[in-house]
Structure 1
Amino acid sequence: MSERNATERVGIDELLERVRSGLDRIDPRAAHEAYEAGDALLVDTRYAALRERDGLIPGALIVERNELEWRLDPLGSHRAAEATGHDLRVVVFCNEGYASSLAAASLRQLGLHRATDVIGGFQAWKAAGLPVLLSAARG
């Protein structure tokens, strides 16, 4: 068996398209409405420098991307208190809505079948005029 047959090679654009086809991605307003209705946990995976620069989404759980699966696995020993079960609707944010799609797909592999992400990420949230808390350091 050749290496080509043993391992399918997929570029990131194709992988992202495949992953997104399995998600029910939502726009920022729908994410905000779901959070306000108590039907979604917003999870901000942006790294600290972006949060400091652009601000925070009020009520969002901050989980760095490299900790996401450990913090949101309802069966995990390092889970966040908010990781209450596999039926939890988790809405993941990154900066522009790319890495969050991959993150949501990873959460689905853990059995969080309602995990999804926000189209356009934090930048789309901010552009839609939804609530953002600016860092005290920014003044």
Structure 2
Amino acid sequence: MHHRATMIILTALACIAGASLAAHAQEPKVIPAPDIDDSTLMDTYLWHVRGLPPGQRLAVHSGAGPNFRVIHALDEGQPIERLSCKDSRGGYWCRVATVGLPRISGWVDGRFLLEETGFAPPDDLRNPSFEPEIVIDPFVRPRRP
């Protein structure tokens, strides 16, 4: 009889302990999601078109340079995904892709891409002078007459 009473007590303790563990295990951990309408929300994986002259759009080229065909144009503030960048043909060119549909990929002048959504460059950087830059290639040999 003593054995049976001990078993009943142990079973009752196990049930109580199991119930408290089960209750604790089933408590969901709630992590609040950020407010989508919050203007301070940063989309860190995106870059944005910034610093265009007023009324202009950023040309998207089929290759890294101004002589390639223009395939699209981006507006000031438009989010894009920056895929890669390189120095090419006297400029800094970045391969980008639009984030909306249809997804368009091409090359843009990297001077007009900004990673931080809340930052705007000073006015002198936002509207740079557009003086032509002459680059002389030292490897080009002149033709002989």
TM, length-normalised to structure 1: 0.27
The structure with the larger Rg is 2
Higher relative contact order (CA 8 A, sep 6+): 1
Structure 1 or 2: more helix by fraction? 1
**TM-score normalised to structure 2 length:** 0.26
Greater strand percent: which structure? 2
